[in-house]
Amino acid sequence: MAAARETLRSWFYRPWFLAMLAAVLSATLLMTGSLFIALHQVEQNESQEMNAQGERFLARLEQLFGQLRESLDDLEAQPLRSCNDEMVATLQQVSFNYRFVYEAAYMDGSRVCTNRPRQEGLSLTRPPDIKGPTYSYWLNTTTEPDENRAALMLGRGNFRVATSRGHLTDMVDLSPGSSLLVVLDHGTRAIPVLGVSQAWPPIEHWPPKSRDALQVTHSRLIYRMPTDNPEYQLVLISPRGGAHIPPVWWWLLPVCLGLAICVGFLVFLLVRQRQSLDAELTGAIRRGELQVLYQPIFDLDSRNCVGAEALLRWRRPDGTLTSPDLFIPMAENTGQIRQMTDFVLQRLLEQLGQLLRANPQLYISVNLAACDVMVPRIGQVMARLLTLHRVAAKQIAFEVTERGLIDVVVARENLQALRDVGHQVLIDDFGTGYCSLAYLQTLPIDCLKIDKAFIDALGHDAASSGVAPHIIHMAQSLHLTVIAEGIEHEAQAALLSSEGVKFGQGWLFAHALSAVQLIELITRGRRRTSRRLDDEA
């Protein structure tokens, strides 16, 4: 199991594999997203087309029914009531006067006369589909001999008038499988006026809860047209276009693939760069390119140096510096940070052991990574080095960040173990993490270091200008020492001193110094107010 896990892990360190994985994932996401957008656009177009089609049908049906009723009213009002040439002429005149009347007929017992005497007449024997108080409606045209006749037929008394299929389809040409239905019997029966018969109700839960005129199902679009008569409802049903891929997606496909290739290439470059930096860092440790510098810490009142913070720098053979913000997080991820911490501890005692033995009041602080805070390893390493160099434990302090306190309970035990043997514990960059006052009261710490960002805000109207005084007062209430970081101006030092801060570090006093420069500073007692040594990092 462990071997399989290690093999899998090794694959994730191969640039080409990660690049291919990123390309495939990005291509899948991009193509899926673009296909979803394209299909959504198709569905919207279908809905808009169906709405427009339904509105055109509804407008034409209102015109048709209006003319058919008017023509029946005219026929009913004239006095003729027998099948003769005069009646035929009257019927022909009505069909001429009303555009949408394709055929008009009169029934007198067994005799029928129409405006088209030489053609086969309307089928007038079956009962009407809808019988109202004034008008009767015949809707189903499937039994008619001519598809151009009697798409709709209305009757009043002995008179019948009908419109043709063409008067409906000249507005909208129904697609194959579409139908114009009249729904009767309280929504339980549907008669096709145009198109094929449709199963009704179309879905199990009908009518739908939504009041929208257009209902979209998995396979059909159903447009319900509003009518004034509660006895019937006009419905237009059209099959959906199916799961065809929209043409626009074929244009988006090469774009998605191109973007995916770019993403894969960028991932390849980033991984190669990271692996290259990782390998360079390993070589830098082996070749001794890492060096330790010291940022002095001063008493703000006397301006005497009371200690220093050990800083790790990476100077490459060509003289360029690699930012700690770049290689420290990488070392934490790869586990090299432990080796680097041991290097700093060993180097500072080798360089400053004699100075510390001669000046018991001095101390050097070292930053600890989260992995060293969570395990007791660092105490064992430190004990061995202190014995070797005969330096007191109180002269080596450890700085931890709030973000390094992953498990407060475990961190508390390990930090307390360091304090028990004499080391000081400092919280670095306080105010930038998530450590609360409740945690501070329970953690075994001696000092708070205020982050430079809050020091820079002092004396300004920035929203964070009041953070530093708040931290100072909080630390004083907990009887903790305060060290201000990043002091660059005399006014900042004076303001901090007036707030009760005793110690500080920053470019106002000195840049980061080499071991030789720090020894010179201590032994000669130089003050850095007028002359500062440049940062040789």
pLDDT score recorded for residue 531: 43
**CA–CA separation, 302 vs 503, rounded Å?**
10
**CA–CA separation, 500 vs 259, rounded Å?**
58
> Scanning the structure block, which residue is given the tokens 């009303």?
98
Among the ranges given (315-324, 426-435, 467-476), the one the predictor scored with the smallest mean pLDDT: 426-435
CB within 8 A of 212, min separation 6: which ones?
none
- CA-atom Rg of the chain in angstroms: 46
pLDDT score recorded for residue 86: 92
User: CA angle, 205 as apex, 199 and 208 as ends, to 5°?
Assistant: 100
pLDDT score recorded for residue 533: 41
Is the model's pLDDT at 174 over the cut of 70? yes
Report the percentage of the chain scoring pLDDT > 90. Answer: 27
Confidence of residue 40 (pLDDT cuts 50, 70, 90): confident
Overall average pLDDT of the 139-161 stretch: 70
Q: Is 92 exposed, middle or buried (0-12, 13-18, 19+ CB in 10 A)?
A: middle
Confidence of residue 129 (pLDDT cuts 50, 70, 90): confident
pLDDT, tens digit (0-9, with 9 covering 90-100), for 233-283: 888 888 876 555 666 666 677 777 788 788 777 776 666 565 556 666 666
pTM score: 0.51
Overall average pLDDT of the 83-90 stretch: 91
pLDDT score recorded for residue 537: 35
Is the model's pLDDT at 150 over the cut of 70? no
Q: What is the full DSSP assignment across 383-436?
A: HHHHHHHT--GGGEEEEEEGGG-SSHHHHHHHHHHHHHTT-EEEEEEETSS---
Q: Is 446 exposed, middle or buried (0-12, 13-18, 19+ CB in 10 A)?
A: middle
506, 529 contact by CB (below 8 A): no
Is the model's pLDDT at 287 over the cut of 80? no
The domains located in the chain, with CATH, are 20-239 (no CATH), 291-524 (3.20.20.450)
pLDDT score recorded for residue 528: 43
Overall average pLDDT of the 508-537 stretch: 70
Of residues 431 and 383, more confidence is placed in 383
Is the model's pLDDT at 144 over the cut of 60? no
Is the model's pLDDT at 4 over the cut of 50? yes
Q: Is 325 exposed, middle or buried (0-12, 13-18, 19+ CB in 10 A)?
A: exposed
Among the ranges given (5-14, 250-259, 331-340), the one the predictor scored with the smallest mean pLDDT: 5-14
Overall average pLDDT of the 80-106 stretch: 91
Is the model's pLDDT at 11 over the cut of 70? no
pLDDT score recorded for residue 172: 67
153, 161 contact by CB (below 8 A): yes
Q: What value does the mean pLDDT of the chain take?
A: 80
DSSP code for 20: H
pLDDT, tens digit (0-9, with 9 covering 90-100), for 46-73: 778 777 877 887 788 888 889 999 999 9
pLDDT, tens digit (0-9, with 9 covering 90-100), for 424-448: 999 887 765 555 555 677 788 899 8
